[in-house]
């Protein structure tokens, strides 16, 4: 049988070495890009490895036993991550999300969390430290994560039917173990827990209502994410996208709901509340309803590349400044400020303005960074 061949651009090494301005401006905590968007969230990928092979993220035909994952020496150390985090916090970052790959595969992740938990904002407030996980190791690690200073977790779960879930994770992992991880995380206080379900039309959209029924009255916030065209390997097709508006229609047919306002500027999910008081759900409509205008997130890859958009095709090599040239924190801070002040990324908004059969010039999917490398 012929093997499926998918072009994969190795984005791990496609990055510019940042310019260090001659004039070092001290951070004010009010950094803004060309569209007046602040820098508020930093998503840090701590590993490019995962023990699942979900087709929309790390399809097994690409990420197989022959795939060359990053060597340990390429990864940012915990000390380097902490150093960069302090620099970003001085520029206005208040929320840190640890991602992957699967972040709980990074050895001694609790040590990193403990280091980050000691960082305060310029106003003396603790950081909001969260982590996104497939929950395969969550039951085992929940207590140590909480003890280290982690505040909340978001769990990726694409269905409750065990057969559907095993097909989607492609490693025959049982849904019961994920649910157990959620239960233990809630028990130790890693709450409020959010559960993210990526919806693929014709694959798992029949799980929308069962998921809603299961998590109603639980205190867990369930969020439905449109299947996104991230990277080059997931074989994305528009006809597999179920628009969030249709997700809400399905839910409202059984559970009357009302729309809620956003919790904060730049929130990715549109919020809805059950009228009977059973809790809330959210929809993330990155394909059909772009929210670039409020995007205040930066992403740091496993090996220290700064990406300004989930759909970026090139990053900025902060590791080069950390490990070469003997740059000071002030110089690296100035470089980060220089990068963000020139940011004009709004891929989803621009794509939405084009006919369905056209792509953005200069943003070929074959060159975009993979979600498994940059974090969702």
Buried b (16+ CB within 10 A) or exposed e, 56-76: bbbbeebbeeeeebbeeeebb
Which tokens belong to 242?
């179920």
Residues 6+ apart with CB under 8 A from 239: 201
Using DSSP bridges, classify how beta strands 15-16 and 297-300 pair: parallel, antiparallel or unpaired.
unpaired
Average pLDDT of 23-49? 94
Residue 364 pLDDT greater than 60, yes or no = no
pLDDT score, position 352: 58
- The backbone region for 362, taken as left when phi is positive above 0, alpha when psi lies in -120 to 50, beta otherwise, is left
List phi, psi (to 5°) of 292. -60, -30
Asked if residues 30 and 92 have their Cβ atoms less than 8 Å apart, the reply is yes
Which residues are CB-neighbours of 230 under 8 A, at least 6 positions away? Answer: 57, 236, 310, 311, 368, 369, 370, 371, 376
pTM of model > 0.85: yes
φ, ψ at 61 (rounded to 5°): -70, -15
The per-residue pLDDT for 268 is 79
Compute the half-sphere exposure of residue 181: CA atoms within 13 Å on the CB side of its CA.
Answer: 24
First to last CA, the chain: 33
Would you kindly state where each structural domain of the chain is located, as residue ranges? 11-374
Question: What is the rounded average pLDDT of the residues 90-103?
Answer: 97
79 vs 110: CA distance, rounded Å: 13
Q: Which of 135-149, 262-276, 323-337 has the lowest mean pLDDT?
A: 262-276
Residue whose entry in the numeric block shows the structure tokens 């909001």: 128
Res 8 pLDDT > 50: no
List pLDDT tens digits, range 196-218: 999 999 899 999 999 999 999 99
State residue 56's pLDDT score. 82
pLDDT band at 177 (very low <50, low <70, confident <90, very high): very high
Name the architecture of domain 11-374.
Answer: Alpha-Beta Barrel (3.20)
**Where residue 314 falls among pLDDT bands split at 50, 70, 90?**
confident
- In this prediction, residue 3 carries a pLDDT of 42
């Amino acid at each position: 049988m012929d093997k499926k061949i998918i072009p994969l651009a190795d984005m791990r090494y496609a990055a510019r070495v940042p310019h260090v301005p001659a004039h070092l401006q001290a951070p004010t905590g009010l950094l803004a890009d060309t569209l007046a968007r602040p820098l508020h969230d930093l998503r840090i990928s701590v590993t490019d490895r995962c023990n699942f092979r979900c087709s929309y993220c790390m399809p097994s035909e690409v990420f197989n036993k022959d795939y060359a994952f990053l060597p340990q020496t390429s990864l940012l150390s915990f000390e380097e991550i902490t150093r960069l985090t302090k620099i970003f916090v001085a520029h206005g970052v208040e929320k840190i999300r640890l991602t992957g790959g699967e972040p709980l595969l990074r050895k001694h992740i609790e040590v990193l969390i403990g280091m980050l938990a000691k960082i305060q904002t310029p106003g003396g407030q603790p950081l909001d430290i969260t982590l996104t996980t497939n929950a395969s190791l969550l039951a085992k690690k929940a207590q140590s994560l909480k003890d280290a200073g982690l505040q909340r977790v978001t769990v990726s779960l694409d269905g409750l039917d065990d057969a559907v879930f095993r097909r989607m994770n492609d490693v025959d992992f049982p849904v019961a173990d994920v649910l157990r991880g959620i239960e233990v995380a809630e028990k130790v206080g890693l709450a409020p827990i959010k559960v993210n379900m990526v919806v693929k039309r014709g694959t798992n959209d029949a799980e929308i209502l069962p998921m809603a029924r299961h998590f109603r009255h639980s205190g867990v916030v369930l969020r439905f994410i449109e299947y996104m065209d991230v990277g080059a390997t997931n074989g994305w097709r528009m006809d597999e996208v179920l628009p969030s508006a249709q997700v809400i229609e399905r839910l409202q047919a059984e559970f009357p709901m009302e729309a809620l306002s956003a919790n904060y500027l730049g929130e990715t999910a549109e919020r809805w509340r059950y009228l009977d008081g059973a809790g809330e759900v959210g929809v993330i409509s990155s394909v059909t309803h772009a929210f670039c205008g409020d995007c205040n997130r930066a992403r740091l890859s496993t090996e220290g590349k700064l990406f300004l958009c989930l759909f970026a095709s090139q990053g900025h090599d902060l590791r080069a400044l950390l490990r070469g040239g003997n740059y000071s924190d002030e110089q690296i801070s100035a470089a980060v400020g220089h990068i963000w002040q020139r940011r004009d990324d709004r891929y989803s908004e621009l794509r939405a303005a084009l006919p369905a059969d056209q792509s953005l010039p200069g943003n070929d999917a074959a060159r975009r960074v993979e979600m498994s490398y940059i974090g969702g």
